[in-house]
A = this chain, B = another copy of it.
Amino acid sequence: MALRTIGPKAAAALDEELMSAGAFSIDQLMELAGLSVSQAMYRLSPPTQSPNVLVACGPGNNGGDGLVAARHLHYFGYKPIMYFPKQGKNEIYGRLRTQLEQLRVPFTDDFKAAIAKSDWVIDAIFGFSFSGEVREPFPAVIKALAESKIPVFAVDAPSSWNIEGGPPSDGPGKDYNPDALISLTAPKPLVKWFKGRHFVGARFLGQEIADKYDIDVPQYKGSDQVVEVPVSSVKL
């Protein structure tokens, strides 16, 4: 079965429905999404191989998924380092930050120095709601991701890519193609241009709501929260 993709408007409507009629809280959805990110990271490279993971978080929900993932990475034995230069307004970001501070997970303002000391980097800067221009301080960060010598794992979207149109034709993300990507709930159309290892996570959709949004629940194995799905198995 080839998985169908979901565009940014439908993905936003799905999130909205889960949190209204679905009665989910943002805390629940972000916890399950972030957990699946951390478990995909474990499959990509366990902490014995790559303890130092730099987690770059944007100001919105994608950044929140990164904050949750980093906490679970700490529990798994990694030594995450956080780059989180702009905290969004929703109070959840402050709580997720405090949870990491309680675990003594360090935060840095110097992305370039941190990437030089890391084994992997997680791009949780922008997700499916991104469009338009990359704002400060992220252009230099995305340029560093594009030029990164260490592998990059993107959450839901390679940051700066157009969700439907793929990599930008110019700007800092022009030559950015991460090594791995996790699609949350369902792949976005941009996976057409993506060439690395691809996972699907955020296992919280029932069949009924998946049908309503014309997407497919992937074949998770057992009680797993994440599944690897080659891009060739996505209906583009």
Q: Which residues of A contact B (CB under 8 A)?
A: 21-25, 27-28, 31-32, 35, 38-39, 42, 46, 72, 74-76, 94-96, 98-99, 102-104, 203-204, 206, 208-209, 220, 222-223, 225
Cα of A23 to Cα of B94 in the assembled complex, Å: 9
Q: List 28 A-B contacts (CB under 8 A).
A: A21-B102, A22-B99, A23-B94, A23-B95, A23-B96, A23-B98, A23-B102, A24-B95, A24-B99, A25-B25, A25-B27, A27-B27, A28-B31, A31-B31, A31-B32, A32-B35, A35-B35, A35-B225, A39-B223, A42-B222, A42-B223, A72-B223, A75-B203, A75-B220, A76-B223, A103-B208, A104-B206, A104-B208
**Residues on the B chain within 8 Å of A24, using CB:** 95, 99
Cα of A130 to Cα of B219 in the assembled complex, Å: 40
Known: A38-B223, A222-B42. Is A206-B74 also a contact (CB below 8 A)?
Answer: yes
Looking at chain A's contact residues, the main secondary structure is: helix
**Residues on the B chain within 8 Å of A220, using CB:** 75
Cα of A31 to Cα of B98 in the assembled complex, Å: 19
Is the CB–CB distance between B23 and A99 below 8 Å? yes
For the complex of A and B, list the 5 residue pairs with the smallest distance between their C-beta atoms, beginning with the closest: A23-B98, A27-B27, A42-B223, A23-B95, A39-B223
Cα of A21 to Cα of B74 in the assembled complex, Å: 18
**Residues on the B chain within 8 Å of A94, using CB:** 23
CB distance from A75 to the nearest CB of B (A): 6
**Residues on the B chain within 8 Å of A22, using CB:** 98-99, 102
CB distance from A55 to the nearest CB of B (A): 16
**Residues on the B chain within 8 Å of A104, using CB:** 206, 208
**Residues on the B chain within 8 Å of A102, using CB:** 21-23, 206, 208-209
Cα of A104 to Cα of B211 in the assembled complex, Å: 15
CB distance from A205 to the nearest CB of B (A): 8
Cα of A193 to Cα of B204 in the assembled complex, Å: 37
Q: In chain B, what residue has the closest Cβ to A105?
A: B206
**Residues on the B chain within 8 Å of A95, using CB:** 23-25
Residue among A22, A23, A104, A225 with the highest chain B CB neighbour number at 10 A = A23
